[in-house]
Chain A
């Protein structure tokens, strides 16, 4: 089992719709979770961090964390073509020194 798993996609949504990106992790005691956006040929850009169970909202983005189910998700409301990118889920491992990345989900937002 991979430490951080994401559906590779591509996930295709129409402009204005909600995009839902999902991630599961294997280390039950992980405490820190992040979502990065990466455009083709560019470096990852941090868009959300979440540390507690529940929802965290920032603009059009909402991160959701369920530690009991070892599940973290990212919702993008009112999706725009400019949101088309690869979204990387990242988890800091128990020792706290390593960030483990999922393989990423490619999102396409159709105009």
Chain B
């Protein structure tokens, strides 16, 4: 089973709202990732968690706040976003951070109005 699930599938939020994106995997993977993907562009890495600890923050603005409550769950808390933050947000997981294949969830399509 190589399934990564994400909720919600679609999200529309205003610039003053607070919302959260959720990601879950039950493959026993110890690394989880958040990516942002704009139309016709490749995924851009935002955060990497390894063994539930934040390993990489790619200089992401503080209006994005990741959280890893346990080894199966990954959240992305959103606050005071800008319209340019509208994108497809992808969660991925891999066996470990080094050298292993990443499996992506279906993504959350976010629109900021």
Contact = CB atoms under 8 A, between A and B. Distances in A.
Interface of A: 31-32, 34, 36, 42-46, 49, 51, 88, 92, 96-99, 101-104
B21 interface: no
Given A43-B107, A46-B103, A99 B42 contact: no
Contacts of A32: 99-100
B35 to A, nearest CB: 9
B98 A99 contact: no
A97 B97 contact: yes
Interface of B: 41-43, 45, 48, 50, 55-56, 88, 90, 97-107
Contact of A97 (B55, B104, B106): B55
Contacts, number: 48
Given A31-B99, A34-B101, A92-B99, A43 B48 contact: no
A68 to B, nearest CB: 20
A32 B56 CA distance: 19
Given A44-B104, A46-B102, A97 B43 contact: no
Nearest to A97: B97
Contacts of B103: 46
B98 A45 contact: no
Nearest to A95: B98
Contact of A99 (B88, B102, B106): B102
A92 B42 contact: no
Given A43-B106, A45-B104, A46-B101, A99 B41 contact: no
B15 to A, nearest CB: 25
Given A96-B98, A97-B55, A97-B56, 15 more contacts: A32-B100, A42-B106, A42-B107, A43-B88, A43-B104, A45-B104, A88-B43, A92-B98, A92-B99, A96-B97, A97-B50, A97-B98, A98-B48, A99-B45, A101-B43
